Structure 1
Amino acid sequence: MDRLTEIELFVRVAELGSVSKAAGRLDISVSAASRYLMALETRLGARLMERGPRHASLTQIGAEYFERCKLVLAELREANSLVSATAVNPSGVLRITSTVSFCMLHIGPLLPEYARRYPNVQVDVEVSNRYFNLLDSDVDLAIRTREYEADSSITIRRLAETRRVLAASPGYLSQNGMPRTPADLLKHRLLLYSYANRPDELHFERDGVETVLPVVGCMKSDEGQVIRAATLQGYGILVQPKYVIYDDIVSGRLVPVLDAWDLPRLTINLAYASRRFVPAKVRTFIDYLVEHFEKMDYQRKWTE
């Protein structure tokens, strides 16, 4: 039995005036309770109570110790209640970061429902297409879209996988024709994302055969929504993760190009500082996001 339980036993004996009654409350034998009290007194080097067959009474120093111990146990119960309440009803500021596109499509629209579930959490969203160093910032949770995640100092939870696809507007394709092979892209205007891994190369794979195509974009941007807007206006063929343009493809605003070829896929990861206990505000948002992604079946939609 640990020292805290010894103290709890001592307080119960003092309150009930009986070792046997206290032992019954704590579901231990009377002989075991007596041994624990002796161990406590031996460790403190003081006689805390006089114990008889049916009654126990505090010594003077035991009475003083009892008053202090009652306060300690009360503080501990209050602390435990606070932690339990926080776990059920988290509070505080939750700082999240992700790209502009992901925040617009998959963070902002979800916040009203999250706020309804957890009204005591304030969500601060830091929108950036560059990745923060979580250990050097105040960010609690980062959503990252990468071909791989190499940072071993943080905890990574996979959220979904997405294809990278080429697409153009129907108007552009009617004027310029539909590319049939990767090499045909060299005759077209390409809109490229400058933060992509090797944006000046497109690595195509089909039936186990890989084709690497060096490309030059007529436009580059560090923001996918800028590229998407220009493509919707018929400016050229973009290369973007499918989660950014999925609704445009479904609605027919954009048409997939060379869809039989695969570009390196991206994994959408949840990244947070490694720790033994994840704060409730972080845990609840992660669970909420995972629940939403599973409900919407995004993994299938973005990889089919």
Structure 2
Amino acid sequence: MDKFTEMEVLISVAEQGSITRAAETLGQSVSAVSRYLSSLEERLGVRLINRTTRRFSITEEGELFYSYAKSILSEVHDAEALVGQVSSAPTGTLKITASTSFAMLHLMPIVPEFAQRHPKISIEITAHNRYHDIIESGVDLAIRTRRVEADSSITIRRLAQTRRRLVASPDYIAEMGTPHHPEELERHRMLVYLLADDPMRLDMRRGNSRFLVNVNPVMTTNEGQLLLRAARDGMGIIAQPSYIVQEDLDAGRLVRVLDDWDLPRLTINLAFPTRRHMPAKTRLFIEYLSAYFRRNEFERIWTS
């Protein structure tokens, strides 16, 4: 019998906990699955599955074989995928997740051209301001400012660093005046992003000086684009990453506040499932996005 099929059967039986469910998953008959399993046990000379009418369990030998078989089949599938990528244009759906602001400001400028260059790749963008499980959601690439990933099966690649800046509209500054020290922020109208670390306190540093500002907001939200709109309309001062506010600063719609003081900086990371061979669609988009960032010198601009 086919050794690869035997391994697939053993893996499915172990994971499904039932020969009947394994047969359904594999699209085989129960008798065929039983034959493959019996053939494998006979060839190896050991019992892999304990099965009675009332009880089903995998043996110690079965656990060992399951572990190796799963690794071997994963390698085979990766090899097939890699050869397929070399021999043909990349295809499939590329699933990306990012914050709403990042998706609007830094994905959409490049997605149309990327799609034109790679017409067999379709792109699915899910905008989230909270982090979702990459593996469970079937995500190929996540762009986020999370420092670490708890799941060891996720690889992180640095894209860029960015300052968080205090900014406000010229009209607001004309009305309320320019603060010259962090302690003056306590009398200013503050607009707060609720998903930031410790959102009701600003940890401001300049050289060896450090000042903690307790914020009493006039508005809070979980969406950076709403804060941006409120700041443009003169509602108050916001603390947001440069990658969100830079365009408005360049256009003069917003101005910097206390820019000689620094808030904790953020690192924008690319997170994706760890694989020996990265899918071509993911690799191509990462290379395209990274080149776009280098070409525009975003990190230099955002950290200056």
Following superposition, the deviation at residue 130 of structure 1 comes to: 0.7
Map of 1:285 onto structure 2: 285
Following superposition, the deviation at residue 213 of structure 1 comes to: 1.4
Map of 1:126 onto structure 2: 126
How far, CA to CA, are the matches of 2:291 and 2:145 in structure 1? 19
Q: Is the 8 A contact 2:82 2:277 kept in 1?
A: no
Q: Is the 8 A contact 2:81 2:279 kept in 1?
A: no
Does residue 105 of structure 2 align to residue 105 of structure 1?
yes
Q: Which runs of 5+ in 2 are unaligned?
A: 1-79
Map of 1:229 onto structure 2: 229
What does 1:6-155 align with in structure 2 at a 5 Å threshold?
Answer: 82-86=84-88, 89-146=89-146, 148-153=147-152, 154-155=154-155
Map of 2:53 onto structure 1: none
Following superposition, the deviation at residue 83 of structure 1 comes to: 3.6
What SS is found at the alignment partner of 1:172?
helix
Map of 1:303 onto structure 2: 303
How far, CA to CA, are the matches of 2:137 and 2:105 in structure 1? 24
Following superposition, the deviation at residue 152 of structure 1 comes to: 4.7
How far, CA to CA, are the matches of 1:79 and 1:131 in structure 2? 28
Which consecutive segments of 4 or more residues in structure 1 shift more than 4 A? 78-81
What SS is found at the alignment partner of 2:109?
helix
How far, CA to CA, are the matches of 1:277 and 1:201 in structure 2? 43
Instruction: Spell out, residue by residue over 1:135-172, the C-alpha distance to the aligned partner (whole angstroms, 9 max, x if none).
Output: 211111000024x2243521000000000000000001
How far, CA to CA, are the matches of 1:192 and 1:168 in structure 2? 13
Letter in 2 for 1:114: F
How far, CA to CA, are the matches of 1:104 and 1:232 in structure 2? 17
Q: Summarize the Cα distance change of 1:83–1:255 in structure 2 as closer, same or farther, 3 Å threshold.
A: closer
How far, CA to CA, are the matches of 1:183 and 1:207 in structure 2? 17
Q: Summarize the Cα distance change of 1:80–1:244 in structure 2 as closer, same or farther, 3 Å threshold.
A: closer
Q: Summarize the Cα distance change of 1:268–1:224 in structure 2 as closer, same or farther, 3 Å threshold.
A: same
Letter in 2 for 1:91: T
How far, CA to CA, are the matches of 1:239 and 1:79 in structure 2? 44
Map of 1:269 onto structure 2: 269
Q: Summarize the Cα distance change of 1:79–1:231 in structure 2 as closer, same or farther, 3 Å threshold.
A: closer
Letter in 2 for 1:117: R
Letter in 2 for 1:85: S
How far, CA to CA, are the matches of 2:130 and 2:81 in structure 1? 39
How far, CA to CA, are the matches of 1:81 and 1:158 in structure 2? 28
How far, CA to CA, are the matches of 2:94 and 2:277 in structure 1? 16
Q: Summarize the Cα distance change of 1:172–1:81 in structure 2 as closer, same or farther, 3 Å threshold.
A: closer
Higher alpha-carbon Rg: 1
Q: Summarize the Cα distance change of 1:126–1:80 in structure 2 as closer, same or farther, 3 Å threshold.
A: closer
How far, CA to CA, are the matches of 1:186 and 1:212 in structure 2? 11
Instruction: Spell out, residue by residue over 1:110-139, the C-alpha distance to the aligned partner (whole angstroms, 9 max, x if none).
Output: 111101221100000001101111121111
Q: Which runs of 5+ in 1 are unaligned?
A: 1-77
Q: Summarize the Cα distance change of 1:101–1:79 in structure 2 as closer, same or farther, 3 Å threshold.
A: closer
> TM-score with structure 2 length normalisation?
0.71
What SS is found at the alignment partner of 1:139?
coil
Following superposition, the deviation at residue 82 of structure 1 comes to: 3.2
What does 1:152-231 align with in structure 2 at a 5 Å threshold?
Answer: 152-153=151-152, 154-231=154-231
What SS is found at the alignment partner of 1:156?
strand
Taking every aligned residue pair, what percent have the same amino acid on both sides? 46
Q: Summarize the Cα distance change of 1:123–1:168 in structure 2 as closer, same or farther, 3 Å threshold.
A: same
How far, CA to CA, are the matches of 2:248 and 2:158 in structure 1? 25
